Structure 1
Amino acid sequence: MDQNTYSPGLHKLVTLQVENIDLLMNSSSFIVFSEKVIQEFELEKVGIITHNFENNSFTIAICLKESHICIHTWPEFKQLTLDVYLCNYLQDNTQKVKSITNAFINYFNAVVLKDFEINR
């Protein structure tokens, strides 16, 4: 029996602790940084949706040709959740997902509270 060895991709889900709550309340700066990440890793942005809440926290979903990057911030708890998933249609993007996640961790100068990897 032949087994299909195709793997759709790595999905990283992290919860981060951030001391500088200004970063958790500035969706514009996050978008600017995300655009740089998208260029650096040669991804193709399809669209972006931003919602800013009354307390200046934000939710952003960046739809990519390769899949997505999503963030939800909670400045009142000094935390955020980040979701990075790239499909492996033409190449293995596993290391790229890990590198992108690390770029965001560095941007926020964050401590990782939870780190999940799902091989889809």
Structure 2
Amino acid sequence: MNGLHLTADLRGCRCELAWLTDADRLLAACVQRVQTSGLQAVAQLGHRFPDTLQGPGGVTATVLLAESHLCVHTWPESRSVSLDVYVCNFGTDHSARAEQLMTALLALFEPDEALRRAVERGAAPPA
């Protein structure tokens, strides 16, 4: 169960608006970046939310990985994104691949601000 869980909360994303509103386009980009990072996609799902009075609806893109998952949520009205990359490190340490994937996603969205967090999961508590 040992693994690395990376998250990032992005604000002021300067990317094309389509990356925040087009579920199919975002999902394809996510799968491509997963493959480039050396992780293995086993399933994927994208969903576009309805437009609101504040503007176009956001999207959620999820890629199920053999190693765990990637999930992206967008809020186009505030040009914000949340990223979630989790990899299990059972048998092989996938941490560097997770970091590479996160870096590629940050480059895609071009945020003015990125609050990043990393949590080591599943480690035995200190005795």
Q: Which runs of 5+ in 2 are unaligned?
A: 52-56, 122-127
Superposition CA RMSD, Å: 1.6
Task: Tell me what 1:19 maps to.
Answer: 14
Distance 1:34 1:60 in 2: 8
3-state SS of the aligned residue for 2:26?
A: helix
- Residue equivalent to 1:46: 42
Distance of 1:113 and 1:43 partners within structure 2: 23
For 1:8 and 1:112, locate their aligned partners in 2 and report how far apart those are by CA, in whole Å: 29
Q: Is residue 10 of structure 1 aligned with residue 4 of structure 2?
A: yes
The normalised TM-score by structure 1 is: 0.85
Deviations 1:66-116 (A, max 9, x none): 000001100011101000011101211222111110000001122343111
Aligned residue identity for 1:119: E
- Tell me the residue number matched to 1:101: 102
- TM-score of the superposed pair, with normalisation by structure 2: 0.81
After superposition, residues 51-66 of structure 1 pair within 5 angstroms as 51-55=47-51, 56-66=57-67
Contact 2:24 2:46 in 1 (8 A): no
AA aligned opposite 2:6: K
Contact persistence 1:14–1:112 (CA under 8 A): no
Q: CA 1:91–1:112 in 2, change beyond 3 Å: closer, same or farther? A: farther
Q: Distance in 2 between matches of 1:67 and 1:111?
A: 28
Partners of 1:22 and 1:107 in 2: how far apart? 11
SS at match of 2:93: coil
